[in-house]
Amino acid sequence: MTKGMKKSRWKDNLSGYLFISPWLIGFLVFTLIPGAFCLFISFTDWDMFTDYQIVGIQNYIDLFHDDLFLKSLWVTARFVVTSVGITIILSLALALLLNINSKAMYFFRTAFYIPSVVSGIAVALVWSWIFSPDFGVINYVLSLFGISGPDWLGNPAYAPWAFLIIMCTTFVGAPMVIFLAALQNVPPHLYESASLDGAGAFAKLFYITLPEIKPIIVFNLITTVIGAFRTFTQAQTLAGTDGNPGHSLLFMVMYLYKKGFNDMKMGYASAIAWVFFIIVLVCTLVIMKFSNNNEDKGV
Amino acid sequence: MKQKVVSFSRLFRYLVLIALSILFIFPFYWMLSTSLKVGTDIFAFPPKLIPNPITFQWYGEAWTMQDFTLYLINTLKIVGCNVILAVLSSALVAYGFARIRFRGRNILFVIVLATMILPNEVLILPQYMEFNLLGWINSHAALIVPNMFGFPFFIFLIHQYLKGISSELDEAATIDGCNRLQIFFKILLPLLTPVLATCVIFQFMNTWNDYMGPLIYLQTRDKWTMALGIASINSERLYSSVNWGHRMAMSTLYSIPPLLVFFFAQDKLIGGISMSGMKG
């Protein structure tokens, strides 16, 4: 009996690992080993062609004296904060507006999700046409009010804000759909008893809806933050590798790409990759920690 | 009195929704509209909302100026392989995690979930060097082979779905003498169709729209995908009506497949996204 059990346990282990082996191999070969290798070459001056030398933490020191890197850090940070703020508030507001039983809601849900399914290149191209200084629709509409609009994507003072609008329309879809599903799961009797107590719409929102969907807010916050950090396709299409005008659209991933694939400074670019990874990781952990702390204090 | 308040808030709700939905849809209408305008109308001021007369000139020109037929074939090849390989491998892995008790299962599954939030951009450099060693630069293998090893997000989705299917079926089949592979292919795979369809749609969208991957790995035009062809029209940086006609025409064509898939399989896609949030 024990022998049979041992044998079946052994067999389960074997077949379990056989079934998950695709993922396990992929994780080792395409994630863990490259990640470790990336860490190693971030301490070298490798350029892919000649021999490398170990330079210690020199790449990391250089990074923080590299004006372009610091610029990309600032561009990315400002974009993450603004786009995530707008996206979360707008997607929650849309979900609240859409959370009624009506056929029309399907139409609007589809409309708000459309920018999320179209490729980033197409989105970037059409918006650059809409924002174009002389023949763009936006400046035409402004001219109706007697305002002469700027060269939105050609002027470093305006480009980040025009880009923010473009990206928020593509970011909103997924969190909106997730919020909508969460809102439909809030037990209706909570609202009914609140109504009996005389609670108004805002009281219901702040004392029932938001606490009930808090885990979903945290989830959307994390996925949107990560998505914003990963910004590449639209910015690269609109602003080229240098993030012009005036590097105002030079995102961290673009600088990583530029240093690695244009300048072939693999050691330096790997250091950027690791700094990028650590920043994203810390942001994620801070959001998680912060949301857990609140949970302990509340109720 | 009460009635009036309700209808006012309803009106307000619809006005806000209509205004915002115009902001979200208009760019794509404008893309289509511009692509159908004759050269002199593209730069017309004030802009013409409806193209009249209509021309398909830009579509034909842009399609033949570069070999877009080849780009389309390349794109379809990569998309087709990726969809099949990624979804099938994810289903196998999800089955392993959901149905077999083995040592280290829980910790490994936590790693799967943790890698869901890992931004792939972190790994583009070392992966490039790795694929360089393997001789995969300027070959579609670099964009296809890494998809054979299961996607954490799909593994998670299918795992959750499998948890909802009673394992009595598996046990009955075991008694009938089926081995695990037979159970997986003959019994579970058909039952998984809804969640597999969701994964297929996600993978289709991601691969079809992918720009960074082809940009890094595909160098010569005979290997290019649609995304690179359109980016190349853009990089000419000509500010002419002809160039805008070409850009908008190819952007329109490039956007049609994901939009069609979205319109016809909306519930699958949105169901999958909602489910991802339910993890919390």
Q: In chain A, where are the structural domains located? A: 68-297
Q: Is residue A26 over pLDDT 70? A: yes
* CATH code for position B274: 1.10.3720.10
End-to-end CA, chain B: 42
Q: Which amino acid is at A33?
A: I
Residue B257 CA to its chain's centroid (Å): 10
Q: Is residue B1 part of a domain?
A: no
Nearest CB neighbour to B28, from listed A16, A114, A215 = A114
**Percentage of residues in chain A with pLDDT exceeding 90?**
70
CB-CB contact of A43 with A54 (8 Å): yes
Please give the helix or strand (H or E) that residue A280 lies within, else none.
helix A266-297
SS3 B103: coil
* A233 → closest Cβ in B93, B125, B212: B212
Element (H, E) at B15: helix B2-35
Phi and psi angles of residue B54, each rounded to the nearest 5 degrees, phi first: -95, 140
Contacts (Cβ under 8 Å, ≥6 apart) of A138: A130, A131, A149, A152
Q: Does A104 touch chain B if contact means CB atoms closer than 8 Å?
A: yes
Q: Tell me the pLDDT tens digit for each residue of B26-60.
A: 999 999 999 999 988 998 888 899 998 999 999 99
Interface contact A236, partner B, CB < 8 A: yes
**Considering its fold, how many domains does chain B have in total?**
1
pTM for this one? 0.92
Q: How confident is the model over A163-177, as a mean pLDDT?
A: 95
pLDDT at B3: 56
pLDDT tens digits, B124-172: 999 999 999 999 999 999 999 999 999 999 999 999 999 888 888 888 8
- Report the DSSP beta bridge partners of residue A54: A44
- Please state, in angstroms and rounded to a whole number, the distance separating the CA atoms of residues B61 and B77: 24
CB-CB under 8 Å, B276 with A178: yes
- Taking CB atoms and an 8 Å cutoff, what residues of chain B touch A145? none
Mean of the per-residue pLDDT values of chain B: 90
What integer pLDDT is reported at residue B280 of this predicted model? Answer: 43
Alpha carbon of A190 to those of A58, A98, A193: distances in Å? 59, 19, 5
The nearest alpha carbon in chain B to A170 belongs to B24
Smallest Cα distance from B107 to chain A, Å = 12
Residue A297 has pLDDT above 60, yes or no: no
- How many Cβ pairs within 8 Å bridge chains A and B? 255
pLDDT recorded at residue B149: 95
The phi and psi torsions of A54 (rounded to 5 degrees) equal -80, 125
**What digits encode the pLDDT tens for the residues B203-227?**
999 999 999 999 999 999 999 999 9
Instruction: Flag whether pLDDT at B274 surpasses 80.
Output: no
Q: Is the pLDDT of residue B19 over 60?
A: yes
For A129-149, b/e burial (b = at least 16 CB within 10 A) is bbbbbebbbbbeeeeeeeeeb
Q: At residue A47, does pLDDT exceed 90?
A: no
pLDDT, tens digit (0-9, with 9 covering 90-100), for A138-157:
999 999 999 988 999 999 99
User: Quick one: average pLDDT of A103-120?
Assistant: 92
| CATH 2.60.40.1180 is held by the domain A68-297 | no
Confidence grade of residue B177 (pLDDT, cut at 50, 70, 90): confident
Establish if B53 belongs to a structural domain. Answer: no
Give the whole-angstrom CA distance, residue A206 versus residue A208: 6
Nearest to A270 by CA among B126, B57, B161, B107: B126
Mean pLDDT value of segment A213-229 = 94
Structure tokens at A160: 């980040």
Burial group, residue B267, by CB count within 10 angstroms (0-12, 13-18, 19+): exposed
What is the 3-class SS of A116-149, one letter each residue?
HHCCHHHHHHHHHHHCCCCCCHHHHHHHHCCCCC
User: Cβ–Cβ of B119/A108 closer than 8 Å?
Assistant: no
Dihedral angle computed from the Cα positions of residues A12, A13, A14 and A19, in that order, rounded to the nearest 10 degrees: 80
Top pLDDT among B277 and A98 is at: A98
Inter-chain touch A19–B180, beta carbons under 8 Å: yes
8 Å CB contact of A23 and B234: no
By CA distance, what is B99's nearest residue in A? Answer: A16
Name the pLDDT band for B276 (thresholds 50, 70, 90). Answer: confident
Q: Nearest by CB to B43, which of A22, A135, A219?
A: A135
Residue A298 has pLDDT above 50, yes or no: no
Q: Do the chains contact at A125 and B230, CB–CB below 8 Å?
A: yes
Would the CB atoms of B127 and A34 count as touching at under 8 Å? Answer: yes
Q: Is the pLDDT of residue A195 over 90?
A: no
Q: How far off is chain B from A54, nearest CA to CA, in Å?
A: 17
Lowest mean pLDDT among A62-71, A288-297, B82-91: A288-297
Q: Which structural domain range is residue B164 located in?
A: 58-278
Q: Do A112 and B248 touch (CB under 8 A)?
A: no
Please tell me which of the candidates B13, B43, B102 has its beta carbon nearest to residue A13: B102
- Burial (CB < 10 A; 0-12, 13-18, 19+), residue A52, is middle
pLDDT at A299 over 50: no
Shortest CA gap A214–chain B (Å): 9
For residue A233, is pLDDT > 50?
yes
How far is B216 from A21, CA to CA, in rounded Å?
A: 28
Give the pLDDT band of residue A270 (cuts 50, 70, 90).
very high
Q: Which two tokens stand for residue B177?
A: 């003498």
pLDDT at A197 over 70: yes
Contacts of B209 in chain A (CB under 8 A): 118-121
Report which of B51, B211, B266 is spatially closest to residue A124, judged by C-alpha positions: B211
